[in-house]
Structure 1
Amino acid sequence: MTPGTSRSAHARTLASGLLFGAGIAASMIDLFIFHLVLRWHHFYDLSTPEVARTVDGFFHALGWFITVWGLFLLADVRRRGEVAWLRWTGAVITGLGAFQLLDGVVNHKLLRIHQIRYGVDLLVYDVVWIGGSLLALALGGLLLWRSRRAG
Structure 2
Amino acid sequence: MKESVGQKKSQLTLLATILLGLGSMAAIDEIIFHQLLGWHHFVDVNSSALALASDGLLHTLELILLIGGGVLLLHLYEQKLYAKGYQSAGFLLGMGGFQLFDGIVTHKILGLHQVRYVDNLLLYDLGWNASGLLLLLIGFGLLRRAKRGLAASAS
TM range (shorter): over 0.9
The size of the alignment, in residue pairs, is 149
The Cα offsets for residues 1-58 of structure 1, whole Å up to 9 and x where unpaired, read as x97943322211010011000000112x110000000000000003411100011011
User: Is 1:93 paired with 2:104?
Assistant: no
Letter in 1 for 2:43: Y
For 1:44-90, what per-residue CA distance to the aligned partner results, in whole angstroms no more than 9, with x for missing partners?
Answer: 00341110001101110111110110111101111111633321110
Give the CA deviation at 1:110: 0.8
TM-score normalised to the size of structure 2?
Answer: 0.90
Distance of 1:121 and 1:140 partners within structure 2? 30
Q: Deviations 1:89-115 (Å, cap 9, x if unpaired)?
A: 100000000011000000101111100
Residue type matched to 2:131 in 1? G
Kindly name which structure, 1 or 2, has the bigger radius of gyration based on alpha carbons.
2
Gaps of 5+ in 2: 151-155
Q: In the aligned structure 1, how far is the partner of 2:7 from the partner of 2:81?
A: 13
Q: Which amino acid aligns with 2:124?
A: Y
Using the size of structure 1 for normalisation, the TM-score is 0.93
1:63 and 2:67 correspond: no
Q: What residue in structure 1 maps to residue 111 of structure 2?
A: 112
Q: What aligned pairs does 1:1-151 form with structure 2 within 5 A after superposition? A: 5-27=5-27, 29-81=28-80, 83-151=82-150
Q: Considering only aligned residues, what root-mean-square deviation do their CA atoms show, in Å?
A: 1.6
Q: Distance in 2 between matches of 1:13 and 1:139?
A: 17
Q: Quick one: distance in 1 between partners of 2:66 and 2:97?
A: 14
